[in-house]
Structure 1
Amino acid sequence: MQHLRHVYDSQWLKTVTVGYFDTLNHCCTTKQLWTYDNFVSFPKQHGYRIDENYRLHPSGKRTSCVILDRPALDQAWLFFQLIYCVVRKQEEPFLDYEKLVSDGKLDTSTLPEALDEWHKHMHDLHKRDPGAAIMRFLEANQILELAKQVVLANLAENSPFMLVPQHTKRYEKGNRANELSEERNLCIMILGETLSAVLTRMMRTCKVNLPGWELDDGGGWGPPAYVSRMMFNDEWCPRSQATVKGQLGRNATLLYVTVLAHENNRHNCHHNYQHSQRCTSSKCEFIEASDSPLDSSRGPIREYRPSHSLACSATDSVDNKDCGMIGPNEDEILDVLERSDHPRTGVFPLIRILEDKETKDLKLKVEEWKAGTPYATISHVWSQGLGNRNKREIHVCQLRAIENLLKQVFGEQESYLFWLDTFAIPQRGTGETRHAQLKRKAIGLIHHIFNNAQHCIILDRYLMMYGRAFDHNCSIIGAEILASGWMMRLWTLQEAFVSDQLHLALGGHDVYNKKPPNLNNVWTETNGQEVLKSSMTDIMRVKVEHNLMRTGPKKALARKSTSERALLIASAWRAVRYRTTRNPGEETLALSSLLDIPIPQDDESSVLSTSREEDRERLMERFWETVGKDDDFGKSIPPGIIFLPGKRLSSEGFRWAPFTWMSGEVEAYPFPLDNPKHPTKLTSKGLVVQLPGFRLYPTRDKLCDIISTSNRSSFKFSVGRGLDEWYQVSAARRRSQLNDISAPLDNGNHDLHPIALELKKDIDSGKPLKLGIILSRPRPVEVQGEIGLLVKICDSEDRCPLSGRDKPLLTCKIIRRIEVSRLAIGASEIPPWQTGSREAHGYDPILSRYERFKREKVAGVQLDDAQSWCVDGFPGKTPTTVGVKRSQTDVPTARQPRGFLSKLKRVMTSGSRFESSDL
């Protein structure tokens, strides 16, 4: 992995050294025959076979070359052969053994130059002979695809290790054999991701577009157990581990360099501080501005203390060197907000910094925003100390640091306008309702404020301490921002998404007089660089932009189509799922601000507590209700949302919806959120979607078998009279952040037994039970199962409210999530008792189809590709025993409709504090 130094020329980069296996000296095929055929046949030649799950096994057969043990085979095939057979001319590689081994160690230092030669060769070949070049591209593509699948199946870390911190025994010191294996695996993964990235860029440069043949390496070749060991050894916070691994997925390169870039980040490594001992993979208890080291003389009482700037010599507010506190006149802030006459687009207060020319003292002036006024917003992490729980003040040193950054982004002028939530959002007053009302109004304007700002300056304490302002290496910037505290917070997502120009404050701006890098154009600086650096930067850029919802040109919501708006919600869900907020009850408030959905302010209905789970559920219902009625998003709830895993809401009409967006859940293949072809509509009975599917017609016995939770076996059915198109259905299992699967069945509510009992009662009572399957796209593929829903179809005479035609609407309830795959031609003809050749005595390929039809006892009818479904779920089970959790047993009761987010009044009025950057 020494080639990474060409990409990340930073002091924090460390490369792993892997030894060369001497047994390869006797392996002839690592030194000749560097073709596609040679790569594919390599395992066979060395005594191995690959099963249908890409797992490697000894074949027990005679070989044409020396039999290698597994580590040596991995190195020979997935390192040397991978380079030889991909990075080559016709049949001659650009690198040989002497250039890849140094002092008995693997060394990729010369790989960047070879990749440049390969890029030039393929570019010239494409000019001379496009057909030959395209075939070479396809061969390289398939070699990398095969290698990746083998790596994922044999070398990648299993999912349980990625979701929770590892037990000590997993990474105990002294087990050097495991460490060496993990180092070798990491190097192979990084090599594979490197070659895939370069090939992708080469094809794009040559304008080769082959639908269906695109490289699918966005997820990467990992995850590597080596990175989990690094996190364990550095005692990373369990929540930071889960967040970083979730945001970066399987990409071994990004996981490795990002963890290296944050080795000293207190936000992620705070095991020596009070309260951090209570951190879990779902919640972090550490607050930098209030936690003290474990050996501190301060007691365990948490007291939020506004921090000084990094350049200030004072350490706390009682220090003799204290630089003092400063803030605007709060009455002037309140007066401006009172004049704001629109809940979404009204005026708001801005702050101007003025300096006395003689004393150099600073003072603040409050001004009212007017359309066209240039100003900057400050996006920060509240827990790092730029907030204030009691007064609208910050330390003077912090204000001077902000002033310096404003000069950098605006250029030299006398004064600068800016917006900071600590100054501009009122906190609770003493016995007054004025503060609470105006606080609520200010929160409703946040989307508007960041949307109209000329600049947004990102302040993260770790980046301002360790980030290098003098070097705008975009790959280093990406690695440093990905695992920052700012990147992990829910409220900062909307600030990044809405803002026009994002500037990242790094260390040394005042010393080097460097303008904070602009995340909008920092990536363009790779143009003209070597192919390795530009290719790896593309991976980093995609991951950063994906997690900031900045994946394309900014486009006004009014100009977006229904599908584009649905994709916006889908993008928001993906970016939110791994973020956190101090108060989970304010999730819907942040989502509403992110999507710019109006917040009603005139509803006087009763208050719900955002700290109680059942009330958070009601708030999420009201959120979806508001989305469904919104002029912009009313028909743009992504249909693919019904397939998401995780806990769902429990009230009628909302049982298709996730309980929370901050779930850490992974979408299932084929990622249905990506394909919102048709509009949707929220009704009192559920979400109306237009998706393909099947009607199922089983016998009574088969029906009982399908709905049973004790029988988890799959079933097959045919959809045509000729019995030549068969599908297999199996229960979907919970998937981790890494697409690995665990055993439990998953219907989204994690309790199938009550549903099965209810359906069994219907069968026993003689009621007709109709079953169906909803798919995200027609004709599932053969390679892997595609996510779907097994549903009960209810009797209904409704017509589709979305179609201009008189289309029938199937009202249904979700039984469970399933995986559906199309069987290859002939697969359904194999008798269950036959394991040998199909040519064995007694086998009949035609009659076997009819025999299977009889055995399966179920037939399917394919529905229209835009069949209308009104999707809901079953109610939760009623309590039957003492001690069962209420959240698992409550049956929803009827409630009067309430205006959305009025239930947040307690947050706005009853003593809780709004901390916009760290909730």
Structure 2
Amino acid sequence: MEHLLAPASSQPIKIPYVGSQEFEADIPTPEYVLMYFKSYLNRNGWTHIFENENPEEIARSLQTWLYFGCLISVFRRVSITIRTRDFVSASYNPHERLVHTTRLRDYIGEWASREGFAVGPVVRNPADLKYLRGENIKEMLNHTFLFLDLYCKKSQSMSEPHKTRMKLIELSVMALGETLCSALVAIYGYEPREMPVWGPSPILEARLKDNGWCVSDSPFFPESLQRSAISATYYFGGCVCPRPRRDHSNCSTSICKNYLQVINHGTYKQKHVSPSCSCADIEVPTAAMDVVGQDAIPVLRWDENTLSVSKAGLQAMYVAMSHVWSDGLGNDKKNSLPACQLSRIQGLVNNIYAETHRASNNDEYLPTGRHENAKVPFWIDTLCVPVGDEDLRKAAIRQMAEVYRGADRVLVLDSFILTLPRSAHIIEKYVRIHLSSWHHRLWTLQEGQLAPRLFFQFEDGPESFYDMSYSERHSLDVRDPTVLCSPLRLLCITELEIFYRYFEQARTDDVHGINIATRMRSCAKYLRNRQTSKSEDEPICIATILGLDSGPLLAQKDPARRMASFYDSVRHFDPRIIFHEHPRLHQEGFGWAPRSFLRQTPDLIAMREGGLEWDDRPELATLIPGGGGLPVRWPGFEVVGLGPLNAGSWAFIRPWVGGNFWIPMQWNYGRQVPWWSYTYKLEVLPEVDEGSPRLDNAASRYAVILPIRLDPDALSGPGVTGILGSIESETPETTMMLSTDGHPASHSMAYSGLHRLPLRYVCRVRVKMPLPDTVPQGCSFAWALVCSGEQEWCLR
């Protein structure tokens, strides 16, 4: 683990060397190294992985094959010779040897020197020898990733000390795999999202917990294009969490319970700058409400005696404040603030322009207005969003996007960020923002992402993202092997800025709605660790971020109807959304849709099983508004004769073969049988926060939609099931025709034409192809009328 960046005070994690043989003993020439690597188990007589093997042998095979085998094979493919002993060293214990990765950075440097860095995306040219080498290495890493999962599952059942030893070796493979993937992207031009996500590691999670971090703090870069779950967690787990928080035993992986505090409007109290201060409470003039009523933005100035109001515009550039109410700057009873807070805010916004910034010669960064002697106008929700008048309040909320997008600068005030000086290291600043209450509130997400220039108020002054990273940008070489091994500094420089500028950069919608579908997926990721005191605010906030009109949503008071109205406004969706693992919306026609994006760890678009991205991108689905449902095209089947099933229960199913019952089932080993001759297993999955679903009416016409065909090479896979309605066509149903070539692409339609089949959502399911010896002969099963990927369903 020595190739990873770590705090100076952290204790290294020792990885034991348990090998008894060297992988490189008979390694062939570079052209054949891939097959040699993949055939390790067969060459060593393991016909079934882990069969009749003791824990010591399993640990040796894991390290020899997936650590040293992967390491040696990757570099051998580019004609760099590495030996096991290059990565093994003695410890203080004479009877113990450890895996040591100090030399890995040098080898990566040599690899890059031989191949050269990519100058653009990978060009898939089979005649290009460099491309072929990259493909071989990519296949090795994917193979390592997939088989590592089998080892990880096996180690769960081991006793100590074997279990801990296995976890340490697994961690070393994850760290190596993540680093090699990083180098692969830089040298060959692959997209980072093509790489597997390594981790999480129980060893690193335990170390984070011991040092006061919450389980929700890892990984630290969930939206990053870089794959950094291991290197980031390794670094942060080596130091004490800078924000002391209470017990984390009831926290979730999405958010710490300390961020879930809800403002009690009955007992909420504003704070003065000093606890001993008792200055007067200053109410905003009624002119501010008049400006809102004119569909304009009110901005304020405070001269220590008078709070004046004007309209925002080209001649009145302003600073918008972004804060959390828990810091004491809110007010739900009237539009007022203590005089001391007004003086503080006015001084802070003036100071943004008074500062001499490091990048003053950068046109993008230069202030667009000077307020050297005048008071800088500012906007803050406590004073500018009317309290008491519901119509004016809705008008102000509807303006919110314009408020933050139109501000010259947005200044973040958070009590935790305020305790750090600007001289702190970029990693400290990143962590301080990451752990702040401001970063975990719903409304502050849109405020930060809509800001043209976002500033954070530190202990001794404001800084933008450009300020924070200025020196790092000029000193950090992104192609340095140290950075490729552990890109933590690079991520701290770039990822928060990307996080809060993504939606402004991607705002232009194309005519097919692809842009908004992609942005909604990203928005769901950004909301996973956010909280709001009012659940009905969520669709308003998301609509504002996506550039949608929030007016129709504000007209709906019921949270479920408001969320449904939000989906009607979005209109275009990635059809893979129907397979999500979020709680479902209880609204007629929207059973396919997530009820909320807040505190949801799974991605909105589920990953393929095994942790890899989907290879294809289906065409967008266009919602039928008003609860008409979401039309999607996917493979699937109707189940005939399905008995009652509860969550966790299952049933065997077989494709219907038009009455040809002579076709053998899959336990016939005498020949290769086609997909339609297999028996499949349908499992009912529990709903998220919904208790136990039940398929309880055997007479109902149940159907299952799958993102993959009934292909033994593709299953298992997630799916959704529902009750079929009547076919929206006057054409009668016809017998399904089946080809006999066995190719899964030959799935035929269950119906004669491409008729849209309405389906009312019931629950999530998984379809598997069980091993032949687990399907008893003579078992009962249901029939399945199978549909190809051209079948259109309307999921409601």
Q: Which TM bucket (shorter chain)? A: 0.7 to 0.9
Equivalent residue, structure 2, for 1:580:
531
Q: Secondary structure at the match of 2:794?
A: strand
How big is the shift at 1:644?
2.2
Query: Which of 220, 226, 229 is 1:251 aligned to?
Result: 229
Aligned to 1:119: 112
Q: CA deviation at 1:561?
A: 2.8
- In structure 2, what is the equivalent of residue 14 of structure 1? 10
Structure 1 contact 351–418 (Cα < 8 Å) conserved: yes
The number of aligned residues is 720
1:383 aligns with 2:295: no
C-alpha distance in structure 1 between counterparts of 2:409 and 2:101, whole Å: 41
User: In the alignment, which of 34, 47, 56 is matched to residue 36 of structure 1?
Assistant: 34
Q: Unaligned stretches of 5+ in structure 2?
A: 92-96, 358-364, 664-672, 732-752
Matching residue of 1:554: 505
Of residues 651, 670, 691 in structure 1, which corresponds to 2:633? 691
The answer on 1:87 being equivalent to 2:75 is yes
Task: Encode CA deviations 1:299-332: one digit per residue, 9 max, x unaligned.
Answer: xx98656375xxxxxxx411xxx6x86987611x
Structure-1 residue corresponding to 2:188: 203
- Write the mapping of 1:420-439 to structure 2, written as runs, cut at 5 A: 420-426=379-385, 428=387, 433-434=388-389, 436-439=390-393
Structure 1 residue 787 displacement after superposition: 2.8
Mapping of residues 477-556 of structure 1, within 5 Å: 481-505=433-457, 516-517=465-466, 529-533=479-483, 536-537=486-487, 540=491, 544=495, 548=499, 554-556=505-507
Match for 1:790 among 721, 733, 741?
721
Given that 2:449 and 2:503 are in contact with CA atoms closer than 8 Å, whether structure 1 keeps it comes out as no
- Matches of 1:719 and 1:15, distance apart in 2: 63
What does residue 793 of structure 2 align with?
869
Retained in 2: the 8 A contact 1:451–1:498?
yes
Name the counterpart of 1:715: 653
1:107 has 2:100 as partner:
yes
Q: Match of 1:4, SS?
A: coil
Unpaired runs of at least 5, structure 1: 61-66, 160-169, 292-300, 309-315, 355-360, 609-617, 734-743, 764-768, 801-805, 835-850, 873-919
Cα-to-partner distance string for 1:609-646 (whole Å, 9 max, x where unaligned)? xxxxxxxxx42223313541x4xx3x324433332234
Give, as a single letter, the amino acid of the residue that structure 2 aligns with 1:792: I
Moved more, 538-547 or 442-451: 538-547
Q: In the alignment, residue 115 of structure 2 is paired with which amino acid?
A: M
Q: Is the 8 A contact 2:15 2:168 kept in 1?
A: no
Q: 1:95 to 1:460 in 2, by over 3 A?
A: farther
Deviation at 1:576, TM superposition (A): 1.9
Q: Is the 8 A contact 2:705 2:721 kept in 1?
A: yes
Q: Determine the C-alpha separation between the residues in 2 that align with 1:642 and 1:675.
A: 14
CA distance in 2, matches of 1:811, 1:455: 50
SS at match of 1:682: coil
In the alignment, does 2:90 pair up with 1:143? no
Alignment CA distance shift 1:516-1:132 (3 Å)? closer
SS of 2:718 mapped into structure 1? strand
Structure 2 counterpart SS, 1:751? coil
Where does 1:807-846 land on structure 2 (aligned, <5 Å)?
A: 808-820=755-767
Distance 1:265 1:647 in 2: 31
Q: What pairs up with 1:462-477 in 2 under 5 angstroms?
A: 462-466=416-420, 469=423, 471-472=425-426
Match of 2:562 in 1: 622
Matched to 1:818, the amino acid is V
Specify the alignment match of 1:892 in structure 2. none
TM (normalized to structure 1)? 0.65
CA contact (8 A) 1:261 1:479 kept: no
Asked if residue 449 in structure 1 is aligned to residue 403 in structure 2, the reply is: yes
Q: Is the 8 A contact 1:729 1:820 kept in 2?
A: yes
- The letter for the 1-side match of 2:563 is F
Indicate the residue corresponding to 1:132 in structure 2.
Answer: 129
What amino acid is the match of 2:600?
G
Q: Any idea what SS the aligned residue of 1:816 has?
A: strand
Q: Is the 8 A contact 1:194 1:532 kept in 2?
A: no
Q: Which of 203, 207, 210 is equivalent to 1:226?
A: 203
Residues of 2 paired with 1:330 and 1:398: CA distance?
A: 15
**Distance verdict in 2 for CA 1:714–1:379, change over 3 Å:** farther
Partner of 2:173: 188
Give the distance between the partners of 2:212 and 2:161, measured in 1 at CA. Answer: 19
Q: Is the 8 A contact 1:327 1:423 kept in 2?
A: no
Report the residue type matching 2:787 in the other structure: Q
Counterpart Cα distance in 2 of 1:819 and 1:94: 43
Q: CA deviation at 1:59?
A: 4.9
- Structure 1 partner of 2:246: 270
CA distance in 2, matches of 1:447, 1:549: 14
CA-CA distance at 1:100 after TM superposition: 5.3
Match of 1:848 in 2: none
Asked if the contact 1:694–1:772 (Cα under 8 Å) also holds between the matched residues in 2, the reply is yes
Could you say what secondary structure the match of 1:492 adopts?
A: helix
3-state secondary structure, aligned to 2:3: helix
Report the residue type matching 1:377 in the other structure. Answer: A
Give 1:258 deviation, angstroms: 4.4
SS at match of 2:629: strand
Contact 1:201–1:535 at 8 Å: present in 2 too? no
Q: 1:417 to 1:718 in 2, by over 3 A?
A: farther
Q: Which amino acid counterpart does residue 186 of structure 1 have in structure 2?
A: L
Which range moved further: 787-796 or 257-266?
A: 257-266
Query: Which of 348, 351, 363 lines up with 2:297 in the alignment?
Result: 348
| SS in structure 1 of the partner of residue 642 of structure 2 | helix
Give, in angstroms, the shift of residue 193 of structure 1. Answer: 0.8
Residue identity matched to 1:444: R
Q: CA deviation at 1:121?
A: 1.1
Moved more, 855-864 or 483-492: 855-864
Q: CA 1:106–1:715 in 2, change beyond 3 Å: closer, same or farther? A: same
CA drift of 1:18 comes to 0.9
Contact 2:637 2:785 in 1 (8 A): yes
**Displacement, 1:580?**
1.9
Q: Is the 8 A contact 1:451 1:500 kept in 2?
A: yes
CA distance in 2, matches of 1:504, 1:603: 31
Give the aligned residue type for 2:483. Answer: K
CA distance 1:748–1:264, change in 2 (3 Å): closer
CA distance in 1, matches of 2:755, 2:553: 39
User: In 2, Cα distance between the equivalents of 1:624 and 1:421?
Assistant: 30
Q: Percent identity?
A: 16
Alpha-carbon distance between aligned partners in 1 of 2:403 and 2:464, rounded to the nearest angstrom: 23
CA displacement 1:78-99 (0-9 Å, x = unmatched): 4433332223465543676346
Q: d(CA) in 1 for partners of 2:237 and 2:395? A: 40
Superposed CA RMSD in Å reads 5.1
Task: Report the alpha carbon displacement of residue 450 of structure 1 after superposing the two structures with TM.
Answer: 1.7
For residue 588 of structure 2, the aligned residue among 638, 652, 655 is: 652
Maintained 8 Å contact 1:731/1:818: yes
State the TM-score, normalized to the length of structure 2.
Answer: 0.74
Work out which of the residue numbers 659, 663, 666 in structure 1 matches 2:602. Answer: 666
How far 1:370 sits from its partner (Å)? 0.9
Residue 642 of structure 1 is matched in structure 2 by 578
Residue pair 2:323, 2:412 contacting (<8 A) in 1 also:
yes
Give the counterpart letter for 1:622 in structure 2. R
Question: CA 1:863 to 1:134, structure 2 compared with 1: closer, same or farther past 3 Å?
Answer: closer
Give the letter for the 1:570 counterpart: R
Letter aligned with residue 140 of structure 1: I
1:704 to 1:859, Cα distance in 2 relative to 1, 3 A: closer
How far apart are residue 813 of structure 1 and its match? 1.6
Give me the whole-angstrom Cα distance separating, in 2, the residues matched to 1:817 and 1:94: 48
**How much has 1:118 moved relative to structure 2?**
0.8
State the 1:548 CA deviation. Answer: 3.4
- What is the letter of the counterpart of residue 569 of structure 1? M
Contact kept, 8 Å, 2:218 with 2:229, in 1: the verdict is no
Deviation at 1:676, TM superposition (A): 5.6
Structure 1 position 455, deviation (Å): 3.4
Alpha carbons of structure 1 residues 285 and 109: separation in structure 2 relative to 1, 3 Å: closer
Letter in 1 for 2:133: R
